[in-house]
Amino acid sequence: MHEFKTESKKLLDLMINSIYTNKEIFLRELISNASDAVDKLNFKSLQDPSIKVGEGDLAIRLSFDKDARTLTVSDNGIGMTADELERNLGTIAHSGSQEFKRENAEHQGDDVDIIGQFGVGFYSAFMVASKVRVVSRAFGEETAHVWESDGLEGYTIEDGERAEHGTDVILTIRENVPGVDGEQGENYDTYLSEWGLKDLVRRFSNYVRYPIQMMVTKSRQKPKPEDAGDDYKPEYEDYQELETLNSMTPIWKKRSSDVTPEEYNEFYKSTFHDWEDPARTFSFHAEGALEYDALLFIPGKAPFDLYSKDYQKGLALYSSNVMIMEKCADLVPDYYNFVRGIVDSADVSLNISRETLQHDRQLHAIANRVEKKITAELQKMRDDDREAYERFFENFGRGLKFGIYQSYGMKADELADLLLFWSAREQKMVTLAEYAKAMPEGQKAVYYAAGDDRDRLSKMPVVHGVLDRGYDVLLCTADVDEFTFQAMRTYTAKDMPKVYADDTAREAAAKAVADGAEPETEDRALELKNVASGDLDLATDDEKKQAEEASKEHEELFQAMKEALGDKVEKVAVSARPMDAPAVITTEGPVSLEMEKVMARGPEAEGAPKSQRVLELNAKHPVFEKLVAAQKAGEKEKLAQYAGLLYDQALLVEGILPEDPVAFAQAVCNLM
């Protein structure tokens, strides 16, 4: 017996117990090795015309024996000599495939597509096998050789027999391990069943370029006997048939013109387990320093768990048609977590187990290109098929908004123009760019109202006040909307009509346009303002003056109302905004009423910041006269009751229940 060296024994133990986290990938590794062996022979035949190897004859074969508990992976590839068995299998982490790739680097990806890199994949077999036997006959040799090991102390190499060139890897599968103390055991019988092997091939090796075949049991109806009577019942028999388990040609490597939409849809539904066709399908191929293929899908509907903590984002990552990761989270940003698809590249730097990636600039380069492609596709959908885009946004728009908030506004340039909001004036969904294009001359901000119901928002006095000025209001009903706007602070509207500093410049520009020049445009930063905030600055000079005069005249009234309301409000003031309501609640500072409500529903509600509320009074409303009269008459109790009623009423308009609904109801009854 050839013993593993001390260092090699430690490394082998590391291979078996530490590097791989998922036992199931052992079959992927063995199939990949078999594919490399077949590829080497195919490549050799292309270089040497005297070697007659038909590519259609090259294949990988799986077989199993339940009674003997053996699983065999066979190929008719180039095979190995005794020296190569010693070097490739007796020396851990020596990769014959990697050596071959270096020697034939200029042909990689052309007529040869070698997968192996590290020389450790073979040893993953010991995760499921108590013994591994390799029978290999090198192409052009008469004698086969047998390598055998239990993965513990060492290995043996001796002469053997094999009818033709190629390699058999025979695994003696471990016995099942029962669970102990409620912990799940190990079911190794899965690797000795048709359905188990089919599933592993489909998941990890479906697109290996050579057929992976296995004898499978099928059922068929026996011929009906000639003398069978009318009461004859059909009889069935089992039979064996050689079946190809993999599809070989990846759909993402075909030209899009050669694939029908129906084929893409079927691939999407079967691969990603969705019942509906995708809303959008797009693919692209990158060449140059980094080569890869990508096939991406935007689902028709959001999965039920999209916004749960258990949802896992990511694209399937393949390397040379072999699946490396089912969900590579680093390939898509969080705000595009709904995108499904596949990226296939032979150039990404894998870690030694090929289960995860090394985080390097290659991966970042692919992720950046994928992100830009998704953004471009969404922009195209928005512009070319608005109805489909609005359906998409209903499903996934919340994530785009959260992407801006989560990045503290840094992603606003990429995502802001993908957002949709309901226009109170247009009565439809609009983009921020469309809102800006429709603004009247002189408007300097984007106005919005935040709440949980569009109809209620449309009836709010603060919304009507802005609409009456001729300015549109965006009605925002998603819980993340206002947080998104707070993170953005401003929106840069592109190609807006230029605003001139004075009449002379404006007249000169108008004359230039009349003479045939193109109208001048500019990018304009528009502040994002909640109509319920106290600093809209929409009042005219006269309105500001009237409010200021009323504030001075009735200073004692406001002070008395503030004392009655206590710390419920920061202050009571006359409103300069036009409105029909007797009073409204506005806020000062960064926290609005709606943000306060959202945070109150969160996990840290107890310590959530509160809004700084202001009770603004309409000095032109008849109710204001009642307040003035009560204050002049010295009816302190009545004034306190009025103040409480106006405050609670304004809260109800905002969709917030009074702190004491019973007291509010009694106050209304007392007033009546």
Looking at the predicted structure, is the pLDDT value of residue 358 above 80? Answer: no
- pLDDT at position 654 is 84
Task: State the chain's mean pLDDT as an integer.
Answer: 86
Rounded mean pLDDT, 210-235: 90
Torsion, Cα 513 514 517 522, to 10 degrees, reads 0
- 395: tokens are 């499903």
CA distance 209 to 322: 9
pLDDT tens digits, residue range 229-253? 888 888 899 999 999 999 888 899 8
Enter the DSSP assignment of 350: B
N-term to C-term CA, the chain: 104
- 141: tokens are 């040799």
Looking at the predicted structure, is the pLDDT value of residue 95 above 60? Answer: no
CATH number (1.20.120.790, 3.40.50.150, 3.40.1350.10, 3.50.50.60) of 541-671 reads 1.20.120.790
Portions of the chain given CATH number 3.30.565.10: 2-216
Looking at the predicted structure, is the pLDDT value of residue 101 above 50? Answer: no
**What share of the chain in percent tops pLDDT 90?**
48
> Band of the pLDDT at 183, cuts 50, 70, 90?
confident
The H-or-E segment that residue 423 falls in is: strand 421-423
> Band of the pLDDT at 669, cuts 50, 70, 90?
confident
Strand pairing report for 154-160 and 144-149: antiparallel
The H-or-E segment that residue 218 falls in is: strand 212-221
Determine the topology of domain 251-388 in CATH: Ribosomal Protein S5; domain 2 (3.30.230)
C-alpha pair distances (Å), 250 with each of 280, 329, 507, 535: 19, 22, 63, 59
Q: In a 3-state reduction of DSSP, which class is residue 129?
A: strand
pLDDT tens digits, residue range 396-455? 999 999 999 999 999 999 999 999 999 999 999 999 999 999 999 889 999 999 998 899
Rounded mean pLDDT, 634-653: 89
**Nearest Cα to Cα of residue 125 among 10, 19, 9:** 19
**Cβ pair 72, 170 in contact under 8 A:** yes
Q: Rounded to the nearest 5 degrees, what angle is found at the Cα of 161, between the Cα atoms of 124 and 26?
A: 10
Looking at the predicted structure, is the pLDDT value of residue 371 above 80? Answer: yes
- pLDDT at position 97 is 45
C-alpha pair distances (Å), 93 with each of 8, 15, 40, 88, 624: 9, 9, 19, 8, 87
Portions of the chain given CATH number 1.20.120.790: 541-671
Residue 567 neighbours by CB under 8 Å, 6+ apart: none
Q: In a 3-state reduction of DSSP, which class is residue 584?
A: strand
CATH 2.40.110.20 given to domain 420-530: no
CA distance 336 to 376: 13
Strand pairing report for 445-450 and 428-430: unpaired
CA distance 286 to 284: 7
What backbone phi and psi angles, to 5 degrees, belong to 546?
A: -65, -40
Enter the DSSP assignment of 581: S
- 256: tokens are 């899009």
Superfamily of domain 2-216: Histidine kinase-like ATPase, C-terminal domain (3.30.565.10)
Portions of the chain given CATH number 3.30.230.80: 251-388
Looking at the predicted structure, is the pLDDT value of residue 534 above 90? Answer: no
